[in-house]
A and B are shown apart, each in its own frame.
Chain A
Amino acid sequence: MSGQTSAAVAAAAKSVHQDEEELHGLLVPDATDLPLFPLSAVESNFVAYFAPDFTKPSHDHYIYRHPNGLCVVGLAPGHAALRDEGGVKGVDFNVGKSDRSAIKVTGKRKKNAQHFEANTMLCKVSTSVDTYVIRCCVKGSLLEVNEKLVKQPGLLNTAADREGFIAIIMPKPADWLKVKSKFLSREEYSNLRVESL
């Protein structure tokens, strides 16, 4: 009787062990199947567009568009501010009629979001050489600005394409379609800036 019970327990334990082995096999990939360098989250989740010389020469912006329509706007590698001696020293969202970082957008319907034009100012970025106005590039609702830049303007020098993004804008689908063709693809942009970069 007890022999049968312990046999059953052993069988159950064995089956649990087998399940775990099987699960482990599924979870851990073979190293040879993995790419040497994987695509980054930004590369795989967004389509990159570039607006070189936006309103002024060397004012290069990027627009990373997520398939859900949201656009992350930031400074492209060719932007003059990133190329000044000593890099970016300060970021100020207190431009135009309001402080862009003071408006809190809430709710699914994005209450309080301000509707901006493509050439509306987002912030000022200053280096030891000059101060540059950064603009929306796309017409739409401003959902979020990257407040971290106020205390950590250096993020623009180290990761302008990631943690150093400027703002998140939600354009209307129709507005996006109108403006999209004016932007360059990543390849077109690097060809344009090939000498200077």
Chain B
Amino acid sequence: MKLEREYILKELSRIFNEKFEIKNPGVDDDLREEYEFDSIDAIELLVEIEKILGFPLSQEQKKMAMEVRTIEQICDYIQRMEYVGV
């Protein structure tokens, strides 16, 4: 089943609020600059992304996520990983 972008955004909003104490970040906000979202946060986020996707990511796939900076890019990443994982 293909994940809808709207669903992904809603889930990310919930995760950022619950896990990272970041309320309603804008989709194009630079998370590192504006919210000090760093590589440790990114690793924690990957655990949540695996839950959304429903399958584990490989180390190579995870490494790709370390460079994402915005919610928009995270959405793209999740959709790309979903496509790869199918």
Indicate, yes or no, whether A interacts with B: no
Residues of B within 8 A of A (CB): none
Residues of A within 8 A of B (CB): none
